[in-house]
Structure 1
Amino acid sequence: MGFRYHIIKAGAGAGKTRKLVLKFLDVLFRLYKNRSEFFLNKILAITFTNAAADEMRDRVIKILKKLSIPELPIRDMEGKKIEEFENLLKTYALTKFDTSKILDYIIHNYSDLEIKTIDSFVNSLILSVPFSAGVFLTPQMDIANPEFYINYACDLLIKKYGTDDRTREVIDNFIDALLNERNEKISWYVKDDLSRKTREFRRSEMNLAEEIDFNFYSQIDSVIKDATFLKSVKKYAPYVALYKNVNEEIEVLKRKRRVVFIDELNMIARNIMKNVADPLIIFEKLGEKILYFMIDEFQDTSRVQWENLFNLIENALSEGGEFFCVGDSKQAIYGFRGGEPELFEDLFLKPPFRSISESERKTEKIEENYRSVKEIIDFNNRVFNSANLKNWLRESEKLKDYIDEDIVNKIGMVYDDSSQKVVRKDKGFLLVEKIEKQKGDEEGEYDLYERILKRLNDFRVFERFSKSDICFLLRKTEDVQKWTSFLLSKGIPVESTITTDVRENFLLRELVELLRFFDRPYDNFSLASFITGKLFEKVSGIDSEDFYRWIEKNKKYKAGLLYLRFKEEYRELWDMYFSEPFRAVGYLPLYDFLIMVMNKFRVYDLFPESTPFLKYFEEIVYSFEGKGISTTGEFLKKWDKRGEDEESAFILHLPIVTDAVKVMTIHKAKGLQFPVVVIPKVSLTLNDKIFKAEFMPHKDEGGIRFYYSKKDFRKGCEKLKEVYKKHLLKGLTEEINCLYVAMTRAEDELYAFLLEG
């Protein structure tokens, strides 16, 4: 193909993965033709998900099979779809016998087929150069998910509350800070809040590939003179202090258990690249010499990932190697993982590598869309036109107080030249319809779901297509759970991305807090957690905010029993819902007691969409009772305990059904396509997280600092104004990109519902 530096920019459905596979086979055939020894080891193709890596391997094998045995019928490998690869064979004067030999070689050396995720490559890189990483790693050392260790570390910290004055002060300050957060959803179960905030701060460190500037926070009052700026950064000082203490516990656990966390791998790899002057040493340790680098979905690459690859690619190019990547900034939706689409745009404009001459460079834009029908492409061309988006941004009432012309133009630039050409001649269908959100649609939104399902039935969607051809796309995981439950309740089989720990379901968590209170009436946190939750809000008809205020008012009674105050002030509610289970706990068997509580609080009536979770919860309790766990207290110990045996008991797996409707988040659907796509709620998540920007992690000179932003703060502080603008631009662009990804997944029919009210 001639070019050693080749960058392809292409929109949805333009065949980016196909181009990547074509490039992979081009290099493979070339190396085979030149009788290159161990030719598989010289090529590395990087994807960003395991599913994408599996798909690419599968495509390579299928194409080689088809080229080796032309008469072999292989789905999606007929006619024009294989012609481009046949021409490649002719270019190198190869025959089907050659492709058969290549295929045989791959099968016998499958582990050398380097098509893998960036994390997988980084892992092998770290294991190959252990001492340079500053961490002693061996193949026997575990690479773990940090979730278990965060929860365990929080447990250890809480245990120190009664014996260590420093820990007590840190936790007290943390709780006071939470109580002062107007919009903060507090669980009233301290460990939950500790672990949630720990995960949030740790995520900031991993995404920005930098540590928190603890030194700055330790002397915050002495180094900042500006009062407004001081208020902004001091807001999160109690959280930083808490995170520092939890992190110390985590580091001790890691050393004892000999583990590193999977989210740390890129930062460890960066240490390797800094400490190893010559990339050849890394290749030597890896046992291979990679000369050809190919990267899929480059717009999702983080800066630290690119830093880890850069020197290796530079070295390969200096020795005659090649670099090829494909991407689309409009589909950059992984900013929460550190993805920086600006890196892709920079690569497209100018090669950063010294060894590439102008004649060896090629940048290419693909305008065709091979996926969707004309009706869908034409609609998306109008909606995601740069001028249209800029007009909407300027005219939006929601946005006018937040954005300026610079932000408008920068978002518009992402969608310059976004128009796509229609390739398919098939007839398709598009429905974009406003649907009013009526009273009573909050939370479960059950009636809303019914009306959307009715509209789909009006068009006989489930009759005209196999259920496996239909995909519902949602913005949030909780919406996936709700729609999965709703469709199952209507007898529609579902293949969902949910393999969920039921302990994360909000309704079951509230029920467990209620059980915890009945088991231990002195546990004020459990009662507070339950009465401020969604279940009791529906049961009582009283806004949960009223109960938050009531708890705040009764803080002075924290040394006493909160339930006695509740019983006194809400006697009618106590007698109606709490009194009978309160007397029955400890006397009824565990399962019978649970059924009594669920009936008393009308759980099934109020949350019909949660039926699968509730039924599974009943099964869990029933099975535990059969194992001799017969009291509420014993069950709660199992619920709270974290470990492999306990984890499996609480995992809800949906049964595998061949012909089932798919329900998934937009992020999960990235790179996929479906004959029919339903988007039940078309909206930009223009929420307080983006606009109010009350929590803004930002990389400064000494490390990460956290800023609290208010409009009047920004008026008087240029630093806050600058940080806020970056935060807003990134968040708003990503929201528009999410909508673009959702609207471009459909092949034949698209049903999109715009929620009003």
Structure 2
Amino acid sequence: MAETIPLNPITLPLNQISLIEASAGTGKTYTIGSLYLRLLLKAGENNFSRPLNVEEILVVTFTEMATEELKKKIRERITDAIDKLTAFAETQDKSAFKNDEFLTALCHNLDIFEAIHRLKLAEQNMDLAAIYTIHGFCRRMLMQYAFHSGIHFNLELIKDQSDLLVRFANEFWREHFYPLPFEMADFIANELGSPDYVLSLLESNLGKNLIVDLEKQQALSISITEFLQQYLGEYFKDIKALKRFWLESEGKISELITEELNKDYAKGEPKSLSRRSYNTSRLAKWIDQVNAWANDPRDYVLNDTLMSYFTQSALDEKGEEGASLFIAPVFTELEERANALISPDLLRRIILYHYRQGLQKKLLDYKLNHQEKSFDDLLRLLCEALQGTQGDELAEMIRFQYPFAMIDEFQDTDSQQYAIFSKIYRDNPEKNTGFIMIGDPKQAIYRFRGADIFTYLKASDEAQSRFELTKNYRSEKNLVDGVNALFDFPKSPFIYQNINFTAVNSRDDHLRFYLNGKAEPAYRFYLTKSDKVNKTEMAKICAISIQHWLKSATENQAVFQNEDTCKTLQAANIAVLVRDKNEAALVKNELQKLGSASVYLSDQNSVFDSNVAKELAWVLKACLNVAERPILNAIATALFGLNAADIHQIQQNEADWQRWADSFAQYQQTWQRQGILAMLHQILLEQGISERLLSQATGERDLTDFLHLAEILQQAATLHESEAALLSWFEKQIQGEGRQEAQIRLESERQLVKIVSIHKSKGLEYDLVWLPFLAVPSKIPTAGDMNVYYSKERDETLWDMENRNLNTLYEETFAEELRLLYVALTRAKYQMAFALPAQFDKKWNALHYVLSQGEIGKEIALSATKDTETLLQAFKEKMKDNVEICTKPNLEAFPALSINTKNDELKAAEFTGNIEQDWRITSFTSIEQAHRRQNYLAESTGKKHAVFDDAKDYDSQNAIEMSTALLNENESNILDLPRGKQVGTALHRHFENCYFSDLANTEEIDKLRQSLQLDETFTEPLQNWLQQISHTPLSNEIGIALADLANKDCIKEMPFYLAIREYFDVEAFNRALKAHHHLPSEPLQFEQIQGMVRGSIDLVFRHNGKYYLVDYKSNFLGSTLADYNQEALKKEMLHSHYDWQYLIYTLALHRYLQSVVPKYDYARDFGGVFYLFLRGMNGEPQSGVFYNRPSVELITELDGVF
């Protein structure tokens, strides 16, 4: 393993595999930006072999937000470098760099003007920068190199597969557990609870490559049905036999033990059964307990009393020292029968294994049938492609495209992700690339999402060089010193020896928080009155402390000092870090009591789960069905603010009732005439809902939900034919059926106290941080959990079915708890505050561990509680005045603080710019239609016609004409198939869904026949015809038919967007066709456009290293094969302007191949264009086949036109 050394961004080698460890706040993003500048300019020492463009530098991170932030920061660094270099070029004075040490050093031996030019080019092209999420990168590579990855271009990406998992979990439960006999079903219900609970256990490990650590491997290889019949059935048989044996032997057992208890022993003689453990009254109670168990048919778990007092082993332990053993065969047999039983816990875990397998299979089958993939599938597919037969070639193409890569947040990687980048960069035989992994193992906190700290450690060992960032730029000096003091101790501060802690330095500026004129300590600890964790009391202390800060701020007595500047504290400068939404609710509630508003920034709930959604459903029912019962249900909701007396009065008073009925009738009319959004706004205004909600404690949250739901309903209304259908959809969303993504929105963007989960806070900084619940004991895995751990010996992730390695799992849990603590302790810029109990619990806790400098070890339960103040005093001795311990916190609330929420009067700015109207996305069909219309209009009125963007690219524009004649094998009849768009669409779908070697597949033929509205007599003629199509040689030269094409060499329905660089020059297009003697088509005519041309190529295939373009045409040219000869095909190509179409398609494919095929050459690599007129393909060479290969000169010239 390479030695870890401090990083110098100027000298770090860029032509090897390196790892950078970036502790919290040490400028990781700035470092990435510095290395990015070096790569653009080939500047500094140990450079990459050549300067790179933004499209060639791959930067990968793990979230969309982080991706956007990285792109923004890198763009800013480039702009800043341009400004400073330009100023330096003008003055030759290094003060132009404004103390930018990196840029000053970078300019040594640098051509300044060339550097400015390259940076300006990079700035202009930042929208093309290869900065992606890991999933975005994988998807791009799979689609871009589809021939090597085997990915279908039309796959749908599932952003959230949780609804599918719920569906399949319920399906599996019904299929396998409903048919079971009662006792087995009862066992399942008690051990597994429900499909939702099972899913909560399995979901985080679905898709992982888990090795099951189990002695009885045969139990895994059989089906779930066989397992339940064999193993669970055997268990019930054996436990029933044990119960029977007990009931048969209970009298004998009582007699034997009673006889022993009544035996006379000499004084001082050791007894075979200790009288401290056994006596006649206890014996009777124990026997009654075991009898009750033995007679209960629903109690299938081995009885504890039986095992503790009536087995031979238990009796042996209860004898007095020196006594002869109390032995009887009945006790031995009881123990043997009990020990022979398989553990119910193990049965449960094996059932969970089969459940997991079943879920994965259902999910996989669904995705295959629907051409859908999840984010995790993208990783798996790229990894498999790189390990496959074409993996080396695929890796080489990716390296060619991205010769340098940086992976941010690498501590959050897993083995699959590392395998992808390892294959691309570490296994590079030419060593002409660079690869840098950037992360911090101390901040690896996403194990629940599949992140694997052990993969990071393995990658760290394999890196050629290791560097670390050693200066903290986030926090004031005393906070940095405090983290150093807590974690810099010899007893493995993060449990694992290879996760080291290196003390970091702080920056030199003078950060300080002043409260009421006094400098505040970096750390303030409030000790509760209770010796135990009391979350409510801790939340209250937190709220009062924040209230005190905010009250002082209103008097300008709470200020932040940063060198020469000061700013007054605002609520948004405060963050409370919590574990989950329950802790957040405690803090939010206590703040609310004191008049301080807050917002929970980590809320993942759906707006459909809100009370407002349920109440809004009642309102919509009343608007749809204006009748007494629905209206009464609606006005009884909290939205209308009526009580029971009000509603009773409305029922009794006819005039009142009529007013409400008239109102809802009016709402119904508004819904029908103007839409649901207009109706909901009308209700909101007329019924004063905004004012009513905002007067309540949760009003801002509820009003935000109301407005959010109104938007969602308006969007959904466009997808539903009627108001009733929309309401039905809305009710299903509330019930969770096929739910769309609808995470609740923040109720306000005002200055509010932020409540954030520790996980969400990673990577962020806050001026003041409160940690009220750090003393809560860590949640320890139990024997009943799905216990998955990493085996160092096997270098594999194991599912410990028999709980033989729980200590290893405890160790992993403690280690992650410490990493989570480190993240929490490194978020603050000025001060941190804590609430702790007077005593630390006997249960393991991460803060207790670091305060004790690791002395408490890794035991689940400690021998004794520990005085918190004693531990803190040791920390205070190191930190002196920068730690304050408040042993008697004042819980008297300050006077309620009213935060001023009045908004300044704002006015929208007027837009005075000019928006170009010509930019659009168009298609060949739009262009061709516009040409025809423009010709017609030009001839008749002299006017021009614009391109229609919504036109579709159908093969034939004829109306559908269904033939009623029966098809025989006669050629004239097969050519008289139905005509029109429906036929073309159906044939395209058939060609897309079938392997070319199996176009006559009976099942798919039936689907085709039905879509063409043909009866079963057409099945055989269709099969014969498609068989002929698939075996028609496309060309004598290349000697291949569709049936010869392997699926891996084909891309079907390849979509494209062909960028028009500026304006599409129609005259230049026509001149190019004429100059290169292309088909003598009429000149293209339509209005000038800019934007993009979209399209979808029916088929691209690869044969003997060349790429070919194919388009299917179902056009009817005549009722004989002679109507499909080469002259007829050429005539149709010109008449329908397909020559324009295939030139556009060829250009699009040419640009695509340029980007994905190393050293691509059109003359060598492009084979040509086939237009297949399907009705004319009868198996003879080139029958119904039009072929052309545009010259390289023409395509080159057209490339300049577009």
Shift of 1:25: 1.5
Residues in 2 aligned to 1:131 and 1:209: alpha-carbon distance in whole angstroms: 30
Matched, 1:235 2:348: yes
In structure 1, the residue matched to 2:392 is: 279
Asked if 2 retains the 8 angstrom alpha-carbon contact of 1:177 and 1:238, the reply is: no
Q: How many angstroms apart in 2 are the aligned matches of 1:422 and 1:741?
A: 17
Match of 2:120 in 1: 104
Amino acid at match of 1:168: Y
- 1:734 Cα shift? 0.5
- Please tell me the residue identity of whatever aligns with 2:415: R
Q: What is the match of residue 669 of structure 1?
A: 761
2:412/2:444 contact within 8 Å kept: yes
- Check the 8 A contact 1:233/1:706 in 2, yes or no: no
Letter in 2 for 1:204: N
Q: Aligned partners of 1:658, 1:71: CA distance in 2, in Å?
A: 39
Query: Residue 93 of structure 1 aligns with which residue?
Result: 110
The worse-fitting range, judged by mean Cα deviation, of 434-443 and 78-87 is 434-443
Residue in 2 that maps onto 1:367: 470
Query: Does structure 1 residue 43 correspond to structure 2 residue 57?
Result: yes
Structure 1 residue aligned with 2:221: 215
Q: 1:728 is aligned with what amino acid?
A: Y
Letter in 2 for 1:46: V
The answer on whether the counterparts of 1:679 and 1:751 sit within 8 Å (CA) in structure 2 is: yes
1:428-577 superposed matches below 5 A: 428=512, 429-436=521-528, 445=536, 448-460=538-550, 463=554, 464=558, 465-480=569-584, 483-484=587-588, 487=591, 490-492=595-597, 494=599, 496-498=601-603, 500-503=605-608
Q: 1:142 aligns with which of 147, 154, 157?
A: 157
Give, as a single letter, the amino acid of the residue that structure 2 aligns with 1:169. Answer: P
Letter in 1 for 2:221: N
| More divergent stretch after superposition (169-178 vs 5-14) | 169-178
Greater displacement, 227-236 / 466-475:
227-236
Alpha-carbon separation, structure 1, partners of 2:413 and 2:758: 18
Structure 2 match to 1:311: 423
CA distance in 1 between counterparts of 2:635 and 2:723 reads 12
Q: CA deviation at 1:304?
A: 1.0
Name the counterpart of 2:166: 151
Residue matched to 1:411: 495
Matched, 1:725 2:817: no
Compared with structure 1, are the counterparts of its residues 127 and 31 closer, same or farther at alpha carbon in structure 2 (3 Å cutoff)? farther
Q: 1:451 to 1:85 in 2, by over 3 A?
A: same
> Which residue does the alignment assign to 2:71?
57
Q: Counterpart of 1:639? A: 734
Q: In the TM superposition, what is the alpha-carbon distance from 1:215 to its structure 2 partner? A: 2.4
Indicate if the aligned counterparts of 1:386 and 1:413 stay in contact, CA closer than 8 A: no
How many Å separate the matches in 2 of 1:704 and 1:71? 51
**Deviations 1:306-359 (CA, angstroms, capped at 9, x unpaired):** 0111010124573322222222221111122232233333444443xxxxxxxx
1:547-582, CA deviations, whole angstroms, 9 ceiling, x for partnerless residues?
xxxxxxxxxxxxxxxxxxxxxxxxxxxxxxxxxxxx
1:657 corresponds to which of 749, 767, 775: 749
Structure number with larger C-alpha Rg: 2
Aligned equivalents of 2:701, 2:362: Cα separation in 1:
34
Does residue 447 of structure 2 align to residue 335 of structure 1? yes
Secondary structure, aligned partner of 1:116: strand
1:197 pairs with 2:198: yes
Shift of 1:275: 0.8
Q: Distance in 2 between the 1:78 and 1:471 partners? A: 38
Of 33, 36, 47, the residue aligned with 1:21 is: 33
TM-score (norm 2): 0.45
Which ranges in structure 1 are unaligned for 5 or more consecutive residues?
187-192, 352-360, 391-407, 516-583, 601-607, 709-718
Is the 2:700–2:747 Cα contact (8 Å) retained in structure 1?
no
Distance 1:174 1:258, change over 3 A: farther
Q: How many residues align?
A: 613
Deviations 1:175-228 (A, max 9, x none): 7456535xx8x6xxxxxx424523542321335577999526757668999968
Closer, same or farther: CA 493–479 of 1 in aligned 2, 3 Å: closer
* Contact 1:63/1:82 (<8 A) preserved: no
- Structure 1 match to 2:24: 12
Q: Determine the C-alpha separation between the residues in 2 that align with 1:634 and 1:277.
A: 46
**1-structure distance, mates of 2:36, 2:523:** 39
Q: TM-score, normalised by structure 1?
A: 0.68
Amino acid at match of 1:452: C
Residue 25 of structure 2: SS of its match in structure 1? coil
Q: Is the 8 A contact 1:673 1:747 kept in 2?
A: yes
Distance between the aligned counterparts of 1:596 and 1:437, measured in 2? 44
How far apart, in 1, do the equivalents of 2:475 and 2:140 lie?
Answer: 39
Asked whether the equivalents of residues 495 and 815 of structure 2 are also in contact (C-alpha less than 8 Å), the reply is yes
Find the partner of 1:169 among 156, 179, 204: 179
SS at match of 2:778: coil
Map 1:385-396; keep pairs closer than 5 Å. 385-387=488-490, 390=491
- Is contact 1:469–1:674 with CA below 8 Å preserved after alignment? yes
Superposition RMSD in Å: 4.9
Can you list the C-alpha shifts for 1:474-500, whole angstroms capped at 9, x where unaligned? 122443455456656734253723363
Residue 66 (1) aligns with residue 80 (2)? yes
Match of 1:529 in 2: none
- How far the C-alpha of 1:61 sits from its partner, in A, is 1.3
Q: Say which structure is richer in helix.
A: 1
Secondary structure, in 3 states, of the residue corresponding to 2:542? helix
Q: Unmatched 5+ residue regions in structure 2?
A: 1-10, 88-94, 236-338, 513-520, 559-568, 619-627, 645-695, 840-1202
The equivalent position to 1:267 in structure 2, one of 380, 400, 405, is: 380
Q: Which amino acid aligns with 2:203?
A: R
Give the whole-Å Cα distance in 2 for the aligned partners of 1:484 and 1:412.
37
Match of 1:422 in 2: 506
Matched, 1:298 2:410: yes
User: Cα gap change, 1:726/1:68 in structure 2, threshold over 3 Å: closer, same or farther?
Assistant: same
CA contact (8 A) 1:372 1:747 kept: yes
Decide whether aligned partners of structure 1 residues 94 and 197 sit closer, same or farther in structure 2, where only a CA change above 3 A counts: farther
* Aligned equivalents of 2:790, 2:48: Cα separation in 1: 48
How far has the Cα of 1:675 moved from its partner? 1.8
Secondary structure of 2:84 counterpart: coil
Deviation at 1:146, TM superposition (A): 0.6
Cα distance in 1 between the residues matched to 2:755 and 2:748: 13
Shift of residue 237, structure 1, vs aligned partner: 3.3
Contact 2:379 2:416 in 1 (8 A): yes
Q: Which residue of 2 aligns with 1:382?
A: 485
Question: What amino acid is aligned across from residue 405 of structure 2 in structure 1?
Answer: F
8 Å contact 1:232–1:707 — kept in the other structure? Answer: no
Provide the rounded CA distance (Å) in 2 between the counterparts of 1:235 and 1:254: 28
Offset of residue 131 of structure 1: 6.2
Cα separation, partners in 2 of 1:217 and 1:687, compared to 1, 3 Å: farther
Name which structure has the greater RCO, CA cutoff 8 Å, separation 6+. 1
Q: Identity over aligned residues, as a percent?
A: 16
| Alignment-derived partner of residue 712 in structure 1 | none
Distance in 2 of aligned mates of 1:79 and 1:315: 40
Deviation digits for residues 621-679 of structure 1 (CA, Å, limit 9, x no counterpart)? 9999x99889x9998545115356x654xx43124525333322111111122222222
Q: Deviations over 1:569-616 (max 9, x none)?
A: xxxxxxxxxxxxxxx99794245167899999xxxxxxx987766677
Query: What SS class does the counterpart of residue 25 from structure 1 fall into?
Result: helix
Q: Distance in 2 between matches of 1:126 and 1:171?
A: 48
CA drift of 1:229 comes to 7.5
